[in-house]
Structure 1
């Protein structure tokens, strides 16, 4: 199962890395998925804590077999969090900052400028990443605080506090998993293309959710709160898979790739550095301004070629500078 889980997530990791873009993901999907998988992982740790304690008297093989469910859910959490990490690393640069068009004089085309103001979705992604970090830190702290301060579970017995905490983790994981795919389904429906979502991953995981649920359900000490999140997630993922297949077929019929770009178009510069290169028209305008001296003759501005004999300041500018200097000296 662990090998199958790893293989199922690898297409998504490779999809983001090869495309060098995480466009198409909803940050809310990653938030809810990270919180759901963390709650599910800690739920099975709590309900099987007695078996974990028994590993001290069991052989290595028997111990690994007994707590294989913990390894499976921990692996799910790690691999899902890796998607979040790749999402932040490969977030499209052209979607990070606000871009504006500046009108230029002399009928020149407007200059496209990228500002240092973050877009709302990029700011939201940063904020939600921190929320995921503090959420897992808080859950780990409370879980091991309860496990170390309550009597060790014996067989099917668990203290009331631990039973409540395990139920809370399982139910919250199920609720989060149920809503996890809702923002992603809505986001994919809105943008009408697949983006960096991996269809092969969903093709593996959707039927694999059935095996995952059965594998967890037959583990000793588990109950419905442990496997229900993965059953709900499997159904929702199946809906998203159908949507992505339909949108991919539609995009290819229109001659577009998964990101909405023409299939036969040259590579775009959307991943270029934050500051776009200056256009030739702007360079020409700046060059004319630098290599000429604008003087006023009979009330009309005239451009005069600049040379070594060209004064740095015109007569009016020198008189104004002298007046300001005298005024500053009198104020001393």
Structure 2
């Protein structure tokens, strides 16, 4: 197909072994996070912005790799299956990383805490009667945001795939195995740079959420421990692949640094939780002095507040949600003692 040596590369045993190890390491490192969400039955603690930026960043990086490796991937038409797998292993490696991260996003939506999906109100009562706990059909702001951002992630993926394959499908490959096209170069650079920027910005919403609630939540510390050094090795492996440049691997180097910072924060809160006798979601551990009050749901900074001036428009309902004689109820939340210490 090509007159050059692009389809007849020498075996790079170091890169091949490194890639195989990384593919295995990717699966092993992401499994603790997947299993933790499923086991806990909750994705509380994740920022939806973190998942949106991470999903778009990894998708852009994957398609950057596809664009850069497209001429090499075409060599599979004239090579053996084994050689084809060898020269396209880098693309599979990046695609696997994207897929494993997207599983977290899917699990986040599936296991979003039910008590946080809809607004709940505590209405004051009189004559010593305990406050009434009223559930409303109003979606919470965080759940609405999560749904919107999930759709944005899907639209970004479909649009990026469409543009990528239109460009590589309409650009001729030179006899030397290169695609000399300004559009291809610009698109590849855009994907790489946007991926790196998104990867860097991705962690700031998660930093802020984790710092504000001062709890680990559903985040997996073992995953972060494995992925911090793994990200640097991943970047080196991608950089050694034919046709790649700095725009292809810089995203993984940036992600590794951000993961180290998030890991440091989680370890700090883990130590704090043990001192306070609470679990990763702020509930008292068995045997602590507050264990008898374990049925009370802990209010955090992420709880939804509904002011008395809020106007509710419930689809398909004309009757008010609350009785008229209640007056102007407002949600009342009281922070537990460990947040006031």
Check whether TM > 0.5. Answer: yes
Aligned to 1:47: 68
Query: Which one is further off, 135-144 or 150-159?
Result: 150-159
1:107 to partner: Cα distance: 3.5
Aligned residues: 270
Q: Secondary structure at the match of 2:215?
A: coil
| Structure-2 residue corresponding to 1:329 | none
Q: Confirm or deny that 1:95 pairs with 2:120.
A: no
SS at match of 1:205: helix
C-alpha displacement at 1:55, in angstroms? Answer: 0.6
Larger Rg: 1
Q: Which of 151, 155, 179 in structure 2 is aligned with 1:130?
A: 151
> TM-score if structure 1 supplies the norm length?
0.79
- Answer yes or no: is 1:223 the counterpart of 2:245: yes
What CA distance in whole angstroms lies between the structure 1 residues aligned with 2:296 and 2:67?
A: 50
* Equivalent of 1:10 in 31, 42, 54: 31
Change in Cα spacing, 1:100 to 1:67, as seen in structure 2 (3 Å) is: same
Which structure 2 residue ranges, 5 or more long, are not aligned? 1-21, 298-341
Residue 70 of structure 1, aligned match among 72, 91, 94: 91
Q: TM-score, normalised by structure 2?
A: 0.77
Aligned 8 A contact 2:48 2:145 in 1: yes
d(CA) in 2 for partners of 1:251, 1:102? 31
Aligned to 1:252: 274
Q: State whether residues 172 and 179 of structure 2, in contact with CA within 8 Å, keep that contact through their aligned partners in structure 1.
A: no
Q: Could you give the per-residue CA deviations for residues 201-234 of structure 1, whole angstroms, max 9, x where no partner exists?
A: 0000001011101100110100000000000010
Q: Distance in 1 between matches of 2:74 and 2:282?
A: 53
Q: Is the 8 A contact 2:239 2:248 kept in 1?
A: yes
> 1:268 offset after TM fit, Å?
4.6
1:188 is matched with 210
Distance 1:93 1:158 in 2: 52
Q: Using the alignment, how far apart are the partners of 2:267 and 2:128 within structure 1?
A: 46
Q: CA RMSD in A?
A: 1.4
Aligned to 1:151: 172
Q: After superposition, what is the alpha-carbon deviation per residue over 1:104-123, rounded to whole angstroms, capped at 9, x for unaligned?
A: 45542121011011111111
Aligned to 1:177: 199
CA distance in 2, matches of 1:203, 1:110: 44
Q: Which moved more, 1:98-107 or 1:181-190?
A: 98-107
Counterpart of 1:243 in structure 2 is 265
Superposed structure 1 runs of 4+ greater than 6 Å apart: none
